[in-house]
Each structure stands twice: as C-alpha cells, then as structure tokens.
Amino acid sequence: MKKLETYEQFSELRDNGKHIFLFSADWCKDCREIEPILPEIEAKFSDYTFIYIDRDQFIDLCIELDVFGIPSFIAYHDGHELGRFVSKDRKTQEEIENFINGLK
C-alpha cells in the first residue's frame, strides 16, 4: 500500500482514478489488527488503488474530511466520493469487503 506524502498528492489522487484512502496511525491497536488482511483486500479489489494516510501527519486533512475515528476508509472515483466507512470501531475483513462491494 502506498503512503500519502503530501496534501497536493491527496488532491491529485482523489481527482484522478479510483482510490480508497485508509486513515490510520502507528499507535492505533485496531489499525494494527487489520494490517495482515489488507494485502488480500487490495488483491481482491485491484480496480482501486489503496493509499495509507497517517492520521497524525495529516490531521488537518482528517478534520477537513470529518475523519475522527480510525481505522477509516473513504473511496473516490475521479473526484467524487463513492462512500465512506468512518468510525472509531474495529473493522473486520468482512465489513471492509462489504463496504467496498457496496460502492457505486
């Protein structure tokens, strides 16, 4: 999974192509719990590019996007938000896959 480097990169990715942004942090226990399943999820949904966003590094972006709990996912296609799975709750592989399957 690629890591977001700059705010400008977020805008470029959001506006071009199909991306799922994972908001996370190194200290987040629930985020670490889903790490082992992420490669499988990425492989299943290869029409999306998955981007890791460090919540602490991009706190202003999290505030702007109303991401107040992690791990959280927001999907975009060419600048349009397709859906979000944003909460502070632990997420299972099934829940994440159901979220992605439900995107338009």
List the domain boundaries for the chain.
2-84
Asked whether the beta carbons of 7 and 57 are under 8 A apart, the reply is: no
Given this model, what pLDDT does residue 19 score?
98
Which of 23, 49, 47 lies closest to 34 in space, CA to CA?
23
Residues 6+ apart with CB under 8 A from 48: 18, 19, 20, 42, 75, 100
pLDDT at 88: 78
What is the reported pLDDT for 84? Answer: 96
The DSSP line for 29-51 is HHHHHHGGGHHHHHHHTTTSEEE
Q: What is the mean pLDDT of each run of 10 residues along the chain (104 residues)?
A: 96 98 95 95 97 97 94 97 90 96 90
Assigned superfamily of 2-84: Glutaredoxin (3.40.30.10)
What pTM, to 2 d.p., does this model score?
0.94
